Structure 1
Amino acid sequence: MSELRKQMKIYMDLKGYSPITTKYYLNHVGNFAKYYKKSPDLLGEKEIREYLHYCITERHLTEGSVGSIYAALKILYTKVLNQVWDINKIPRIKERRRLPVVLSPEEVKDIFDATRNIKYKTILMTIYSAGLRVSEVCNLKVTDIDSKNMQIFIKQGKGKKDRYSLLSKSNLQILREYWKTYKPEEHLFSGRYRTDAITTRSVQKIFQKSKEKAGITKPATVHTLRHSFATHLLDAGTDICYIQRLLGHTRLTI
């Protein structure tokens, strides 16, 4: 790792960025340097503008991906190299707001029915029933399931915030069936070798296979289960502020 990237990592660690965000941002900076075959401290405003334009027009990256690259380079130049960042000359790409894909209750049930493996079905049901992010279900510990108070503890979710979400009776039932078969010790859902937590990529693959088996053609991802959870609660008349707290959102959006 170059000295610049090392200093950037130190800054992000001190600011409390998540390890995943830090990794991605450092990769963005590395790709920027590789594109010009020069150290970023030898590059400036002109090269940043041209690189972002290249990412949009040649690589055809999404607005979110370009925004992530923009944020990484801004940290490098303003916090590590102490340079001025003129937003008028280096504007941030505007992200289009798209309505999230939502599955109907029947489609959600079809996905669960198509998931024959008890562990995989439990993972998907827990995501939907509690409105979890995929990283949150992967990080769950056995002790996070509070059957006495019918709630699930989510530790250090997005934004490093702790919260509680719902533990439904049907979710608790399948969790108990799953526990009898797998008897997890620390991580509620461990990986192949039972030493670490299951990966987010594995959960994403599980969802896609079940969705295909269920014959659902919507462009849904595992995150769609979280959107569907919120939408179905809203449709049932649940107060939006309560839904917001369950999701761990700071704004009234789902």
Structure 2
Amino acid sequence: MTPLRQTMIQAMCQHGFSPRTQQSYLYVVTELARYYRRSPDQLKVDDLQVYFNYLVQERALSPASCRLYLHGIRFLYLQVLHWADFDVTLVLPKRPQRIPELLTRQEVTRLLSVVSNPKHQALLSIIYGCGLRVSEAVALQVKDVDGERHLLRVAQGKGAKDRMVPLSPGLLEVLRQYWRARRPMPWLFPSDLLPDRHPSYHHAPEGVPSGQERQWHSEKRRHSCPAPCLRHPPVKLGHDLPSSMWLCLRGVYPSPTITHDR
């Protein structure tokens, strides 16, 4: 490990960055060094401007990816190398705004019917029913479920913030049935291999819609889950399943393909 990398890791720890943020920032700085084939502390502002133009124009990275590069590299030069300023301009193309697609009740039923493992079904249900990120769902503990007030405590979610989210009666019953069958402690969804830890996870590979087929993924589903819909319980879990949701747990289940009849 180079001294510069070690210094950057120490600076990120002092700022309280999460492990994932640290990994992302180290990655973008490594990419910068690989592009110029020399240490980042030898670069000038003009070199950085050329590099960001390359990211936008030649690599055609998404606006979110470009901002990640900008934040990581800016942190390096301002907080680690202690530059007085970071005068680099990043011009991004306009970000397209799309309306999320919604699944029908029949599609919700088909989606959950694929899952035979009670733990995985409860995990998918709570991701949908509470609009959670996958990382938030797998880190839940039994004590986070408040059955009396119908609330779920999400500890240290994005931005290192705690929050409370409503639990619909249908979803609460799903969790109770799962708990009576498995009695998990302390994690709500413990790892099968290491019961004292919550399971590791990854998203299903992003699918490209083709014809009448479409694949559904957790992150897209979460962004289209409005809080008011939790008050309406037309489906088993408490509300219509908004937009794409699917989670592959260690490759146990394939990502389902949903076909629409037109």
The question of a shared fold, defined as TM-score above 0.5 by the shorter chain, is answered with yes
Alpha-carbon distance between aligned partners in 1 of 2:140 and 2:115, rounded to the nearest angstrom? 21
Alpha-carbon distance between aligned partners in 2 of 1:156 and 1:65, rounded to the nearest angstrom? 24
Alpha-carbon distance between aligned partners in 2 of 1:38 and 1:168, rounded to the nearest angstrom? 55
Residues 166-200 of structure 1: CA distance to partner in whole angstroms, max 9, x if unpaired? 11221122212222333321221123413321223
Q: Report the alpha carbon displacement of residue 221 of structure 1 after superposing the two structures with TM.
A: 1.7
Alpha-carbon distance between aligned partners in 2 of 1:3 and 1:197, rounded to the nearest angstrom? 34
Alpha-carbon distance between aligned partners in 1 of 2:99 and 2:22, rounded to the nearest angstrom? 27
Alpha-carbon distance between aligned partners in 2 of 1:185 and 1:172, rounded to the nearest angstrom? 17
Alpha-carbon distance between aligned partners in 2 of 1:217 and 1:119, rounded to the nearest angstrom? 28
1:222 aligns with 2:218: yes
Alpha-carbon distance between aligned partners in 1 of 2:18 and 2:99, rounded to the nearest angstrom? 25
- 1:141 is aligned to 141
Change (3 A) 1:208 1:123: farther
Structure 1 outlier segments of 4+, above 4 Å: none
State how many pairs are aligned. Answer: 227
Task: Letter of the 2:201 partner, please give it.
Answer: T
- 2:21 is aligned to 21
- Normalising by structure 2, we get a TM-score of 0.76
Q: Report the alpha carbon displacement of residue 136 of structure 1 after superposing the two structures with TM.
A: 0.8
Alignment of 1:44-193 (within 5 A): 44-83=44-83, 84-87=85-88, 90-94=89-93, 96-99=95-98, 101-106=100-105, 107-193=107-193
Structure 1 gaps of 5+ residues are 237-254
Give the share of equivalent positions with the same residue, in percent.
31
Secondary structure of the residue aligned to 1:229 is coil
Task: Letter of the 1:91 partner, please give it.
Answer: L
- Normalising by structure 1, we get a TM-score of 0.78
- 1:10 is aligned to 10
CA contact (8 A) 2:154 2:162 kept: yes
CA contact (8 A) 1:123 1:137 kept: yes
CA RMSD of aligned residues (A): 2.8
Change (3 A) 1:224 1:110: farther
Task: Letter of the 1:98 partner, please give it.
Answer: Q
